[in-house]
């Protein structure tokens, strides 16, 4: 296959690119405007096997790239991902995340690209009634980020209804963390807000201390519970999903492990893994945080050949810490 990956210089995109370069013979082309992604990831991954990289935005004219490459599939990552920022600047999210999906699907329509893998998020579920959510659970986002992705999903579904040749897989990611166990790539955002990233930065003294946002939730230890999935397992889920829709119909898949850890459990494990007793404050709740969010991941495990290999909180934190040391 001839595959276009958008946003492959970013955290998740680069891990998917690595898997495809190592484990497939697909021809790969990458576009990324490097607004959040990192050119080092592209340069490192080119050492595995060469691919074409274009430093362009989705707003740019991509006709030449599409005309030249005749893509069979697109894996679309390029998007903004910060929940809090989306509450402060929602239009930025609706333009970059939602409007750009319509834009890239327009290229699909013009150039006959009929396989599409989309990065969605568990944030589409909002504050669920049940701790575990399946793909059938209600989708009522509680922030603009979640809505920007849910609306993108609708755009994709509506386009698929209008074009019987077109098939998509929507992957709803749970809490992605960790880094490539080979140490080639990892998360590079300068102002990351995600728990495991913040914890490893605190271990290394890049932050003086960290905060637990709320310890009065209705959970066993009062802190929020999340389904942390290793980024390399998430990466292989994209390949399994693409293989699946190539032979079967379009699907929405949750991608998580189906178990949860509380913020306190993550902090405790981070201290154990590193041997550093870093400073942790208890702070107020953060707006928009549901108390528990765990995936029911049985659908992707049953329908596709996806076999996760890194379902281990210790390993997730360890690989995140090793990567952070390299930065």
The residue (of 29 and 294) whose beta carbon lies closer to ligand UDP is 294
Catalytic residue among 107, 145, 168, 173: 145
Among 149, 167, 172, 194, binds ligand UDP (CB under 6 A): 194
Among 77, 107, 125, 213, binds ligand UDP (CB under 6 A): 213
Q: How far is the CB of 280 from ligand UDP (least distance, A)?
A: 9
Q: Which residues within the stretch 253-312 sit at the binding site for ligand UDP (CB under 6 A)?
A: 263, 286, 289
DSSP string of 148-173?
A: HHHHHHHHHHHHHHH-TT-EEEEEEE
Count the helix, strand and coil residues of the chain and give each as a percent rounded to the nearest 5: 40, 20, 40
Could you give the residue ranges of the DSSP H alpha helices within the chain?
A: 11-23, 39-46, 63-69, 83-88, 90-93, 100-111, 144-162, 195-203, 231-247, 263-274, 298-303, 313-326
Among 83, 252, 255, 273, binds ligand UDP (CB under 6 A): 83
User: At a CB cut-off of 8 Å and minimum separation 6, what does 60 contact?
Assistant: none
Residue showing the smallest CB distance to ligand UDP in the complex = 224
Residue corresponding to tokens 């579904």 = 157
How far, in Å, CA of 259 to CA of 294, rounded? 6
Q: Is 94 part of the annotated catalytic residue set?
A: no
Question: How many residues contact ligand UDP, by CB under 6 A?
Answer: 15
The residue (of 112 and 214) whose beta carbon lies closer to ligand UDP is 214
Does 149 interact with ligand UDP (rule: CB under 6 A)? Answer: no
Does 184 interact with ligand UDP (rule: CB under 6 A)? Answer: no
The residue (of 38 and 175) whose beta carbon lies closer to ligand UDP is 175
How far, in Å, CA of 152 to CA of 100, rounded? 9
Site for ligand UDP, rule CB under 6 A: 83, 175, 193-195, 198, 210-213, 224, 226, 263, 286, 289
């Amino acid at each position: 296959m001839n595959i276009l990956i958008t946003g492959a210089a970013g955290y998740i995109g680069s891990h998917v690119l690595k898997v495809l370069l190592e484990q497939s013979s697909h021809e790969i082309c990458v576009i990324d405007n490097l607004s959040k992604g990192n050119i080092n990831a592209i340069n490192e991954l080119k050492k595995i096997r060469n691919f074409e990289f274009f430093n362009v935005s989705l707003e740019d004219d991509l006709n030449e790239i599409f005309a030249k490459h005749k893509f069979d599939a697109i894996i679309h990552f390029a998007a903004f991902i910060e929940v809090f920022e989306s509450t402060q600047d929602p239009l930025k999210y609706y333009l970059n995340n939602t409007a750009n999906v319509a834009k890239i699907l327009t290229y699909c329509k013009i150039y006959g690209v009929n396989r599409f893998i989309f990065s969605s998020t568990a944030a589409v579920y909002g504050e669920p009634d049940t701790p575990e959510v399946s793909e059938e659970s209600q989708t009522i986002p509680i922030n603009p980020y979640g809505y920007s992705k849910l609306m993108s999903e609708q755009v994709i579904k509506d386009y698929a209804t209008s074009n019987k040749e077109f098939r998509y897989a929507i992957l709803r990611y749970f809490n992605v963390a960790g880094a490539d166990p080979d140490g080639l790539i990892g998360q590079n955002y300068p102002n990351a807000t995600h728990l495991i990233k913040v914890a490893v930065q605190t271990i290394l003294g890049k932050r003086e201390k960290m905060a637990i946002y709320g310890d009065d939730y209705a959970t066993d230890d009062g802190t929020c519970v999340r389904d942390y999935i290793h980024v390399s397992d998430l990466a292989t889920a994209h390949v399994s999903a693409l293989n699946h829709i190539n032979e079967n119909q379009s699907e929405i898949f949750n991608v998580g492990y189906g178990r949860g850890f509380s913020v306190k459990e993550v902090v405790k494990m981070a201290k154990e893994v590193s041997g550093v007793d870093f400073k942790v404050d208890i702070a107020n709740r953060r707006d928009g945080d549901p108390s528990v969010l765990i995936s029911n991941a049985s659908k992707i495990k049953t329908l596709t050949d996806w076999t996760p290999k890194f379902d281990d909180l210790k390993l997730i934190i360890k690989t995140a810490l090793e990567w952070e040391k390299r930065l």
